[in-house]
A and B are shown apart, each in its own frame.
Chain A
């Protein structure tokens, strides 16, 4: 792996040509070498370049000194070039000490390169796809190569990053394959806006395409996100730019950090075919514990006419909710083909992902096609890079959360001791009185209108949501090398997604949700992002100084159109078409047409002095269309950073091989998060104008976020040990805050710029590279991160009637699953819920029936953010065997289980049986009847604040064990086959919550740390086979 990484980073660098003048000549010379006329009288020199362990090094630059005659090694480390005796070969490779070898009479020269322990010239892809050597950077980054990220493939590769990025909080929504994932870097900054990271593919930001997220306890379906659709196999490397200094060039979109993805492209001189097939199986685990001791009934008396399980002791078997879940199957097959000459490189890939979810009738099929061509024209001065992707994704019944349409509700609360078999086998039965209409087989007594219960198999089979999504992305990039230090590059990209959702709900579905003849909803939409930029690159060296500068202009335009029409069917049962909708559907249809445009000018400059001191300065001015009609369309934000390579400057004690200190200050501005906030709109339905709308206290302004960061990068003991650390503080002000005003206010929602939220934190990455022999190596790495968030101030405004300043120190962001309240002095993610009323001595107040009394004022019961996160990755290699595992721990924070509250209410939970066994629940030293107690505190409207659990958990996130059959076993007809057993999310070392705290109800700000019949967490295991030809 150690050798692969620099190689992978180098390859795109070659294709693009040099970006940094101070970079050792490798790339530049190679480029020139390709245009050289070989001298006639020269002899051909061949050889192999290896590292100290004897492993061949690919992509090593070999140049005849003083000329532009050069080449580079192939994957086997072999090279061939013409040279004369007496010439000197200069062999250079990033991360290794350059070597000079005189050409004697021998035509074979094998070379061994030693690692450059002083100065690892690792190249990092930074903002806008600009590549820089890591030692010149004034801010922290983390790079993960594609193979590392995809060790255990997931239909959405982002989920596979969990535990691998310091400072990232990654929560997968409970929606199965293809669902969206919330990734927050360095804590939540924005109170009302989006806190998720920005994905950038090859320098171009990707639209989020995040559709609506379920919020309330009644639930809904996650609509997926744009990033989950990309082919993980196309990923060459991933660079995380967590801080503002690194992302200033992305403006508002980058304020929450960036995950930069560099994709594969064809390689010169190498033709390869890679095939990978991964088959994994998913099993639901960590399910809620149910009881099978007490049966259907109430007050210890059997009653077949109710759904509750508060009946007498039973001996008949109970339905096991686990049996509702299938074994999920995921097949990911990918093939890629890469070839290239010095002038033209081509890459093609295809990936298919076929997933059967753990919920019955849930499926995902995704197909990705990628083609990319890179060519060098006009005497290698012009590099053209053209790529196209096509993605087709069909999702069938993505799981929902919450009560409505969710089969898990009744799979869990189904009466104990009752057989589910008839309801499973015949969830639908023809009704001869209705012309054999298939009607739901479900007792009336099991129907609860307040939570819309139904036969779980009916819901899974007869309430269908089918989503067909097609997406096409096209990118063109042209770069012209004007002189050896000046180049200009222009890029354009179009990303268009078409999405159609059809929802068919059959007649006799829960009447609270679906009309007597059924219901239908049709949701077509399309999103188009157009991006263009023009960047001038300067790389210049003046004696002791190096200068890398960019000057550019960017335009980004996002448009979306959508329609959402649906309702009950009016005339014909189960005829799912718009024409059969009842008349009110038209009044309730929504249609959106959105357009947002950002235009920007920016500059960035990196000045280096004697390879030990680097100064970064950047600035960007944005014009943002969301600010139209305000006083401030345009805003500027600067960043400055400094770094000092101490190990270059002074002789350090022996153990320290490399030491760098860095610091930066950056301001990031951004437009408003939404369109149309600056114009008045009057929502209407039919002839009725809805008076409640959006109010704004004052003219809205751009938002600001100021980040200060210091960091240290170091390598120890001959660079076998690395330690990098970042300390940061972000202060976000002028935030756009959307507040649900109290009902008595004129507008239901108020938006304003205010508030100050700070995030302080630390990120540490540790790495060790142990090579015990040529056969055995151990590469552990660890990440640690902690973030502290504080709401410093919210809002002071002048009351329009009194003219006096009014200070607001608490706002409710969202009132759904729980009250997510932002309070001055508190922190983002504080959760407020009803709790017990307690007297002065802390005793629970009970009413005259012995029931606990609810405190009329909701209390803060916790915060969903972790105190710190730890990831510990280990890779072992022994000969052709490899073994790796990732242990991932989250410490601190709280989560809430609404599911447990409902299971308790219906007497289904194991807790409720234990309480009955114990003769009741002890409250203030007295036993309260279990049913009475849990009916009072459980349920959806219960005292949910008593269902708070620690979110601390440690798990075995990934495990792989592989064996590589070398090419030699096949007489080198193929390069090798690797078979790997893989496992993901295998088990918890500890988990105090009754569900997986890392799974989110949805990716919304206010729905984190909450479970209400979420899809359970899954254990995934299987085999992966990859072959290279």
Chain B
């Protein structure tokens, strides 16, 4: 009996042991269990080169973000307002917010996040896989990266750009000068690589399945890259004139050419599986959070600008009214009579147009650069003509108008916000080119028209305003910056995002040293000189 019991026990122990061994051999399925069958993983991702191409849509759709509220924070509630293009009639955050220089920390985050989490992160992945094998795709990714990141750089200043992807939690920042110099090097390399590819494969369009800007046409990408290089050269023309001249002339002389006809214009459009709602439409018509800015009203009105009808919707009285930046808004709807926009729900998103290149060429000539043989006046007038064409309006005798100036501003709600005729906050520049004007006046004329043609990209217009001081914009009606931003000088940048301050603290502290001033909205960026007097 006892023996029997023992053998039973031993048998059971052996049984359990076998179960145990069985268990460990069962763990061979663990890899299967721990691989998500419904996720894109390394093997499926590599098919058909999607592991490179798949990242482009993220890059293209995040230059101007296409997901509703992200655009609102990325650009609409800062650059679009600070440029004078637009203003919000919604008293966000109890009416104390970015529109009156109380910079809401959470709002300063999105532009940075999109730049790094979408653009830089996608570029990194493409570059990782394509640098050696697909020079053409690598080159386009670089152009896209520069297009996206100069916009981010122009908002904050120093950026963790050249060392990106190296640290895990902490990435060091570069000065804005370093970032810009890197942009030029990157564009040079990309243009060279892409030109080489096009020369060898003149009809190939491998980028077409992923490209929603130029449908994979590398020749257009080369024109875009040259125009972008010119834009950046113009941006540093005052702070670093020699480099600016070199880079600008490279673009002007590049055999691939620049964007000089409206057929070259860069717009993001739906296709290749990418669908989006125009983000400006979302903020404007869907959210009713954004309306026409006062300077836009006053310039359009003063100049009798035919583009007003193409860009804005009249109010119930048939007028195109704007809101002045920083007005105190008691309730949503107080400024209901200000103009909304014609931009439609599914309209394509403007990145850059030929008109801008022409205005940049005009400024280049003014600065003594070789821009391809034209005069400042010819480029200037061609820029206006292209813009009118692009908006589908007849130019009439607009170019010959030597008398019209910006109209005074009458506030919809409160007369205290009015800007009467004769105020230094109203521009006195006219439209018609006058070779006899000083370079400063000429520059004001070029930039004012570039500003009118630049609608609705407020971020670019804000950058140019900061660089040149033009067009003349009315200061904020109320300033809640706590003294960090001077009303007359206006806002110069956004503070570094809270997330970076909290989680990349030491690097941000060094970045503030590179910035050369406190981390607030009043500190000038590197290319934003206090003295803006024209120096040739």
Contact = CB atoms under 8 A, between A and B. Distances in A.
Nearest to A592: B38
B326 to A, nearest CB: 13
Interface in A560-609: 583-584, 587, 591-597, 599-601
B164 A746 contact: yes
A688 B119 CA distance: 12
B57 A688 contact: yes
Interface string A681-714: 1111011111110010100000000000000000
B5 interface: yes
B502 A688 contact: no
Interface in A296-311: 298, 303, 305-308
Given A445-B333, A686-B274, A691-B121, A625 B36 contact: no
B27 A687 contact: no
Contacts of B31: 628-629
Given A593-B36, A687-B57, A799-B167, A819 B27 contact: no
Interface stretch (B102-110, B176-184, B293-301): B102-110
Given A536-B13, A750-B169, A847-B483, A512 B287 contact: yes
A496 B515 CA distance: 59
Contact of B124 (A552, A746, A858): A746
B96 A742 contact: no
Interface in B77-117: 90, 92-97, 104-106, 109, 112-113, 116-117
B497 A743 contact: yes
Contacts of B166: 800-801
A433 interface: no
B93 A744 contact: no
B502 A596 contact: no
Given A511-B287, A684-B54, A697 B168 contact: yes
B262 interface: no
A743 B116 contact: yes
A745 to B, nearest CB: 6
Contact of A306 (B40, B93, B331): B331
A168 B57 CA distance: 50
Given A687-B54, A851-B480, A444 B116 contact: no
B223 interface: no
A601 B23 contact: yes
Nearest to B88: A449
B104 A305 contact: no
A697 B45 CA distance: 22
Interface stretch (A272-280, A933-941, A1002-1010): A933-941
Contacts of B500: 742-744
B37 interface: yes
Contacts of B163: 801
B33 interface: yes
Interface residues of A, number: 102
Given A305-B333, A936-B96, A686 B275 contact: yes
Interface string A845-874: 001110101001110000000000000000
A445 B164 contact: no
Nearest to A448: B332
Interface string B4-18: 010011001100100
Contact of A691 (B5, B23, B117, B504): B117
Interface string B157-191: 00110011111111100000000000000000000
Contact of B482 (A626, A690, A853): A853
A884 interface: no
A686 B50 CA distance: 13
A144 interface: no
Interface in A644-685: 675-676, 678-684
B16 A690 contact: no
A551 interface: yes
Contacts of B507: 744
B317 interface: no
A386 B229 CA distance: 77
A552 B210 CA distance: 56
Interface stretch (A234-242, A462-470, A480-488, A961-969): A480-488
B223 to A, nearest CB: 25
Task: Output the residue of A628, A740, A851 with the most chain B CB within 10 A.
Answer: A628
A633 interface: yes
Contact of B333 (A444, A745, A847, A939): A444
Interface string B465-502: 00000000000000011110000000000010111111
Contacts of B272: 687
Interface in B28-54: 29-31, 33-42, 45, 50-51, 54
Chain B interface extent, by class: 35 or more
A128 to B, nearest CB: 15
A744 B504 contact: yes
A707 to B, nearest CB: 26
A856 B501 contact: yes
B61 interface: yes
A447 interface: yes
A688 B54 contact: yes
A624 B31 CA distance: 10
Contacts of A287: none
A100 to B, nearest CB: 31
A599 B26 contact: yes
Given A303-B330, A691-B124, A741-B168, A599 B37 contact: no
Interface string A7-36: 000000000000000000000000000000
Given A682-B45, A742-B499, A748-B117, A691 B58 contact: yes
Interface string B321-354: 0000000001111100000000000000000000
Contacts of B287: 449, 511-512
Contacts of B170: 742, 745, 806
Task: Output the residue of B61, B122, B159 with the most chain A CB within 10 A.
Answer: B122
A553 interface: yes
B16 A939 contact: no
A797 interface: yes
Contacts of A741: 168-169, 503
B55 interface: yes
B273 interface: yes
Interface string A616-631: 0000000111111100
A697 B166 CA distance: 12
A483 B5 CA distance: 8
A798 B31 CA distance: 28
Task: Output the residue of A305, A688, A942 with the most chain B CB within 10 A.
Answer: A688
Contacts of B93: 450, 939-942
B460 interface: no
A741 B171 CA distance: 11
A534 interface: yes
A633 B26 CA distance: 12
A592 B38 CA distance: 7
B363 interface: no
Contacts of A942: 93-94
A336 B420 CA distance: 85
B33 A628 contact: yes
B332 A445 contact: yes
Contact of B27 (A593, A623, A858): A623
24 contacts: A305-B331, A305-B333, A449-B92, A482-B8, A482-B12, A511-B286, A553-B23, A593-B38, A594-B36, A625-B33, A626-B34, A687-B210, A688-B58, A689-B45, A742-B503, A743-B113, A744-B160, A745-B169, A745-B170, A848-B483, A856-B495, A856-B519, A939-B93, A941-B97
Given A684-B54, A856-B495, 9 more contacts: A444-B333, A682-B40, A688-B57, A689-B57, A743-B500, A744-B112, A744-B116, A744-B160, A938-B94
Interface of A: 298, 303, 305-308, 444-445, 447-450, 482-483, 486, 488, 511-512, 534, 536, 551-553, 555, 583-584, 587, 591-597, 599-601, 623-629, 633-634, 675-676, 678-684, 686-692, 695, 697, 739-748, 750, 797, 799-801, 806, 808, 812, 815, 819, 834, 847-849, 851, 853, 856-858, 905-906, 935-936, 938-942
